[in-house]
Amino acid sequence: MRFCQELAVEIGDGNPQRIIEDFRRQARGALLTADAPNAPVIIRAVTTTEDCATLQQSPDGVFYDAPDPFRAVGCAYSCPLQLDAIDGPVFLSLDVLTDRCEGAVQTCAGLR
């Protein structure tokens, strides 16, 4: 299943905290699905400069094209979880060992 929401975040003064808060404000309350899968899932969120029309479901209705990893500006994922058992927020992260995470973001975003 794929959900796509276009956001327009102003870079402005480049203040990371303000940018993150602007992103959260715009994304807050988005309904990803009204019918959660009954099996364990891993949630992956990719922030990209691609538009939603580019990322829509493939014609076969089963597989999605991966986002272009070179247009990704962020990526994070959850631990395996059962969505029906969650009561509260789901936390996403990206495993990196240094502050240079470009390669990890590209790998995460390019997964199919």
Tell me the pLDDT of the chain (112 aa) as tens digits.
Answer: 778 888 888 887 888 888 888 888 888 877 777 777 889 999 998 888 888 887 876 666 666 677 888 888 889 999 999 988 888 888 889 988 888 888 898 888 887 6
- What is the maximum alpha-carbon separation in the chain? 44
What is the three-class DSSP state of 41?
strand
What is the three-class DSSP state of 12?
coil
pTM, to two decimals: 0.76
In whole angstroms, what separates CA 104 from the centre of its chain? Answer: 14
| C-alpha to C-alpha distance for 18 and 15, rounded to whole angstroms | 5
Q: Locate the domains of the chain by residue range.
A: 33-110
Strands (E), the chain: 44-48, 72-77
**How long, in residues, is the chain?**
112
